[in-house]
Amino acid sequence: MINYIKESPLNILIQPTDNCNLECLYCYKGNKGNNKMSDDLMLKVLTESIAYNSKRKNSTLFIWHGGEPSIMPLSFYYKAFRFTENINSEYRISHTFQTNGYLISEELLDLFSQFKVSISISLDGPANYHDKIRFTKNKKGTHKVILNNIEKAKRKDIEIGILMSITNNNVQYIEQIFRYCYDNNFSFGINPISSDLFSKHEDLEVHPQKYLESCIKVFDLWFFQKKNPIRANPGFGVTQLILSQNRISDCFLSENCQYTFISIDPKGNIYPCNRFDNNEGFKFGNILNTDLEDILISPTRIKLLERCGNIIPECQNCEIRKYCNGGCMHHAICHNENINSPDHLCIVYKALIKHALSRINSVLITN
């Protein structure tokens, strides 16, 4: 296990604020605060993260998340991007920005263009659905503003990805959003709405069978593209997973997400991912008090690193164990109250892997 940790780039999910301008119905953040990361803490996070990866001859990806990261002042990001640009490293340092897209300004987009920062924007369907689920604190719809801001980003040649959160009520819009992405050369991904540590989301949580339909739909839309293909997940990711024999740095069906991801909140607390934020039982430490190198060998993280399909009883005889490895640990703890249990979407992964293998084999046989 230790050798693999050394070989894996550690992607750093940074939450510069836990505040947000929207009140999305399925938000997993619980009670939002108004904490903002200081410039000094931000520079410490960047410095230690790059040093950790460079020591292991790895690149570093910073994922700016939230809350809503665009709430932070422009000067905060200018300082961050300029700082990493000026680091003399032989290993790649890159940034991506996960946003609801509502507050994106021309000035922020100019900054993204200058420093080659990619963005991922949440879009859950056409306006008639999206605006019922993702709205401002004044209950105002966001779809029109977001599409307008996407167009602004596109004109500046910024790399754009669209993330669609799947509930039981928007599966029928998947092809529409995929076609929108295809026509605009955006990447596309789906994400299941599920119970979290603060809410069961009972009216919104996608049923496993519905999510399976969604995954297969996306896989086939991606797989059968004729020309100018875009990257779409779970299509691209699952195929990469199969062909690489489980050596991908993605939280979706990775060997163990803790090899490749950590999350740092505005106060410097470090967690397995942003889904575990504000849960003391899963906190690794605080970078203001302890060096990152020491935090990453904390007993809490080591315990999570041991989670895999090999130790989950239900996974022992599973034919796709080498691909799935028990699925998402956050799903496991929220649905089963046991981190060493399988993800509740187990049936989805089994059927999706089999579907992908069938598609791949059909191409190999034909050719």
How far apart CA 351 and CA 362 sit, in angstroms, is 17
In angstroms, the CA 263 to CA 284 distance is 10
In single-letter form, the type of residue at position 353 comes to I
* CA distance linking residue 37 with residue 15, whole number of Å: 8
Q: What is the pLDDT of residues 241-280, one digit of tens each?
A: 888 765 555 676 777 889 899 999 999 999 999 999 988 9
Q: Grade residue 349 by pLDDT with cuts at 50, 70 and 90.
A: very high
pLDDT band at residue 3 under the 50/70/90 scheme:
very low
pLDDT digits (tens, 9 = 90+) for 59-92: 999 999 999 999 999 999 999 999 999 998 999 9
CB-neighbour burial class of residue 157 (10 A; exposed 0-12, middle 13-18, buried 19+): exposed
- pLDDT value of residue 5: 47
3-state secondary structure of 341: coil
Alpha carbon 75 to its chain centroid, in Å, reads 25
- To the nearest whole number, what is the mean pLDDT of the chain? 92
Dihedral of CA atoms 110, 114, 118, 119 in degrees, nearest 10, equals -20
Three-state DSSP class for 67?
coil
What was the pLDDT predicted at 322?
Answer: 83
Q: CA-to-CA distance for 217 and 188, rounded, in angstroms?
A: 13
Above 90 in pLDDT, residue 8?
no
The percent helix, strand, coil of the chain (3-state, each to 5) is 45, 15, 40
Q: Answer yes or no: are the C-beta atoms of 314 and 320 closer than 8 Å.
A: no
Tell me whether strands 232-233 and 261-264 are parallel, antiparallel or unpaired: unpaired
pLDDT at residue number 65: 97
Section 34-55 average pLDDT: 97
Q: Is the pLDDT of residue 45 over 50?
A: yes
Give CA–CA dist 204/207, Å, rounded: 9
pLDDT over threshold 60, residue 2: no
d(CA 26, CA 4): 35
Q: Token pair of 349, please?
A: 């992964």
Cβ-contact 241, 255 below 8 angstroms: no
pTM, full prediction = 0.94
Which runs of E-coded beta strand occur in 158-308? 160-166, 187-192, 232-233, 261-264, 269-271, 285-286
Q: What was the pLDDT predicted at 365?
A: 79
Task: Label residue 108 exposed, middle or buried (CB < 10 Å: 0-12, 13-18, 19+).
Answer: buried
pLDDT bracket for residue 16 (50, 70, 90) = very high
Which two structure tokens, joined as six digits, stand for 234?
Answer: 């779970």
Q: What's the rounded Cα separation, in Å, for the pair 32 and 274?
A: 13
**Termini Cα distance of the chain:** 38
At 111-139, the pLDDT tens digits run 999 999 999 999 999 999 999 999 999 99
Residues 6+ apart with CB under 8 A from 253: 237, 238, 241, 323, 324, 325, 327, 349
Nearest alpha carbon to residue 2 among 297, 324, 299 = 297
Res 49: pLDDT: 98
pLDDT at 230: 97
Give the whole-angstrom CA distance, residue 316 versus residue 333: 19
DSSP label at 137?
T
Q: How far apart are CA 69 and CA 16, in angstroms?
A: 6
The pLDDT value recorded for residue 192 is 95
The pLDDT confidence band at residue 364, using thresholds 50, 70 and 90, is confident
Residue 1 pLDDT more than 50?
Answer: no
pLDDT tens, position by position, 198-236? 888 888 999 999 999 999 999 999 999 999 999 999 999
Cβ proximity of 207 and 168 under 8 Å? yes
The single residue listed with the structure tokens 């619980």 is: 30
The amino acid sitting at 132 is K
Strands 261-264 and 269-271: antiparallel
Residue 299 contacts residue 282 (beta carbons within 8 Å): no
Q: Is the pLDDT of residue 181 over 50?
A: yes
More confident residue, 6 or 186: 186
4 falls in which pLDDT band (50, 70, 90)? Answer: very low
